[in-house]
Amino acid sequence: MNARELHSCLAEPLRRFIELRRLAGTDYDSQARLPGYFDRFLAERGLTEPRLTREIVEAYQQTLGHLHPRTRDNRCSVVRQFCEYLSRTDPQSYVPERQRTRRSENARPRHIYSDTEIQALLAAAKQLPPANSLRPQTYRTLLGLLASTGLRIGEAFALNLEDFHQDQQSLYIAQGKFRKARWVPLSRSTRDALRQYVQLRRRCAPNTPAAPLLVNQRGRRLCHPTVYHTFRQLRRQCGMEHDPHAGPRIHDFRHTFAVRRLLAWYRDGQDVNARLPWLATYLGHVNIQSTQVYLQATAELLPEVERRFHDHYRQHVQSSGEPQ
């Protein structure tokens, strides 16, 4: 929901709240729909007094019982932040208590895609209808780009033609999360695949530098609902529909990229701890702690970690002169 579509008696404070978050550097475009849900509730309830009470907030929270715990927490968190915003000018405005952080088992499971799964998804995307249209090439390019670079889905949508620097073999992310700009180096195969896609899209979409890189059938920028719906179809077609709500998800390509990069460094004998800041920078994270969220043990990674620890321990014992 767009902030301009707010209709309740608190629409104007909600608009100012959203704008304040944007000015603070938060990537709030995708989050603007969360205040929108609350605004719709207030409008349907017929609230006329621009003041939030405990009864109103708790009534809204009761309408969220059918949602996934994390989705419910996100919506409640935004409402609490909005209540805090209102309380700065209206001390009588109700502010709910902070919710306790949910246990990690409530988080959606992360799926690390195998090579076979990625190839199956790319092959299924290539067969999308209508035949001989740009649509199958767009989805194949999008999924391949996410798998090979670990970009956020919103960053991929926001790419313009001018952001693809073929000669430098890189992408320029003009506004990542928290408005952090960065360069993303590409492998030769990814660069070549993007180049081929651009040649096709130039025939049926605007070619100005600020035109979107990835486009839909109408030559417009891709959007979340349509892409998510198509991705659910693809994963179902590939036999990967384990849970229609929990995944595997598009965002899991980002988790997969991070784990694979870690695995490659272990196999190459690199100093993983020294290279984690590189990975954090590449992914557009503020710090290493944000990157660590994406790292998890896998069947391939664990033996490499064990071998590294064993080699380190053996060298330590030999250097100390102790018997093995």
Q: Could you list the active site residues?
A: 152, 177, 251, 254, 285, 294
Would you say 152 and 176 are in contact if contact means Cβ atoms under 8 Å apart? yes
Calpha distance 20→81 (Å, rounded):
12
Tell me which long-range contacts 53-58 makes (C-beta under 8 A, separation of at least 24): 53/94, 54/94, 54/96, 56/94, 57/83, 57/94, 57/96, 58/96
Tell me which long-range contacts 172-181 makes (C-beta under 8 A, separation of at least 24): 173/284, 175/27, 176/27, 176/152, 176/284, 177/27, 177/152, 177/284, 178/25, 178/26, 178/27, 178/286, 179/25, 179/27, 180/284, 180/286
How crowded is residue 322: how many other Cβ atoms within 10 Å of its Cβ? Answer: 8
Would you say 8 and 42 are in contact if contact means Cβ atoms under 8 Å apart? yes
- Beta strand 170-173 with 182-185 is antiparallel
Strand partners, 79: none
